[in-house]
Chains A and B, each alone.
Chain A
């Protein structure tokens, strides 16, 4: 009896020390992962001359407001922020809707060529995106769409991963639900919007984050089709700030912080859905 109790207690003690060890170890790794963000926050509160000091400043300074004023005052950063917000929001709303509609068609209807079309769309993932840069650039020149919102929005709506994610999710929507809506006399479009969409909300959130992130952070393609400063998006504007000879690092790092803030907030609010959506979509047996 006594040995049994003892071994139970020592077992629990071992579990606890294992738990402390594991948590400490993983937490140290987590610190390494977030350290660049912390450094960025601290650096954006210092003037350039105080950023690269030895030893480095680890406490926030009082220069954040001045950096922000320099950033928005000089370089058309406000325009860039507005452009990025408009382009990313419109792309996300439209893109999520059409990817979801396509996922629905692929998952819940049978029609000739269905599998072939789906395979072609997924196979396009194997193509490096740089391949389409030149033809797209020439296309935008022909349409006279350089520096326009549509040049950024239209090519980024039909996202293969989004279509894949939504199709996988739609597979798990019960057919009976859709049939019942049809029997009740709802049209196909109403069935989709009012019955099907509400059942796939987590995947919609995941798809939204994915599309927003992709458009917000896209750099090389916008760099190619945006030729004037007032059309720049945030990444292009940041890169142009970095390019100048007398880089104001305080303002540049503050701009970097501003550039990640919207996606960081969106991500932190929706990350549970993002995980759930990835779970539903990507790892089906």
Chain B
């Protein structure tokens, strides 16, 4: 009797914390693989890069250099050019692409459009194209002498364009390529959001005498807000980190006209093997991304009625 009592007591006292521990253990077990991999292959490299950004390579040894890399960055003319190019591409490309994507989504959502399934896939399919395939294909299409695009231009009586070798047109090429690649994904995000806007809102607006244009401004656009916040922030992050397109199409040229921060980082790391400086560029870029993305999120959310 006494012994049974004691066992009961010990098991309950043991069980109470163990139940709480169990409640912790189950979610941690589900999270464990991601946590281990995230710490090992993301958090550790990221922190190691932070350490590298305070070092410099001297005779094959990384030695501590304090803020030297960051001081050098502040007065590096190439970094300034890369920053300017990146921001120029950002402010032109993101608004153009997102406005077109939004109009496209409105069209996809309209009963007036025939063959919607096929058309939607056509706009969406460029997303499967990888960096290298993309580079091979677009270099061929945009070739000055015998590319397909210039053939079309000359066949309608326009002059050839030096797509990849002229500073202005090289930027235009990158903007076109980016838009081609990502417009469909953004249109689909808008489309998903459009379909979640209740039909009654349109009916009520129509009863109140709002025509199609007014309905767009007063029902569609406010309803799209969450998707707008998402796409603006994601596209901004993507374009600020822009690397793929200039890497495969222009390699930053001509005359650094398409040098982006992402590309400059890569060049410093894997062409000049200046890992410390490359890491400092990476952290400067991260800071720019965070400031701009947080600012956008703030502005776009605050305007909510």
Contacts and interface: CB of A to CB of B under 8 A. Distances in A.
B128 A134 contact: no
B42 interface: yes
A30 to B, nearest CB: 4
Given A34-B125, A124-B42, A259 B113 contact: no
A182 B230 CA distance: 36
A260 B115 contact: no
B30 A101 contact: yes
B137 A33 contact: no
B123 A52 contact: no
A242 B279 CA distance: 29
A239 B248 CA distance: 10
Interface string B106-148: 0100101111001101111111111111011110110101111
A89 to B, nearest CB: 16
B168 interface: no
A282 B138 contact: no
A102 B31 contact: yes
Interface in A224-260: 224, 235-236, 238-239, 242, 249, 252-253, 256, 259-260
Contact of A134 (B52, B138, B237): B52
A223 to B, nearest CB: 9
Contacts of B189: 278, 282-283
A156 to B, nearest CB: 8
A128 interface: yes
A55 interface: yes
How would you classify the secondary structure of chain A's contact residues: helix, strand, loop or mixed? Answer: helix
B112 A238 contact: no
A74 interface: no
A219 B129 CA distance: 12
B296 interface: no
Contact of A101 (B33, B121, B193, B227): B33
A278 B226 CA distance: 14
B198 to A, nearest CB: 12
Contacts of A53: 146
A132 B286 CA distance: 12
A166 to B, nearest CB: 10
Nearest to A37: B125
A18 interface: yes
Nearest to A118: B31
Contacts of B137: 36, 39-40, 253, 256
B154 to A, nearest CB: 9
Contacts of B269: 130, 133-134
Interface in A16-69: 18-19, 22-23, 26-27, 29-31, 33-34, 36-37, 39-40, 43, 51-56
B23 interface: yes
B41 A279 contact: no
Contacts of B26: 109, 188
A217 B129 CA distance: 8
A216 B118 CA distance: 25
Given A15-B112, A19-B113, A126-B293, 20 more contacts: A23-B113, A26-B104, A33-B123, A33-B125, A33-B184, A43-B140, A52-B143, A129-B241, A130-B265, A131-B49, A132-B45, A219-B131, A220-B247, A242-B136, A260-B133, A267-B127, A275-B192, A279-B195, A283-B192, A283-B196
| Top 4 A-B pairs, shortest CB-CB distance | A217-B130, A131-B282, A135-B45, A109-B27
8 contacts: A30-B118, A101-B33, A102-B31, A102-B34, A132-B42, A134-B52, A275-B191, A283-B192
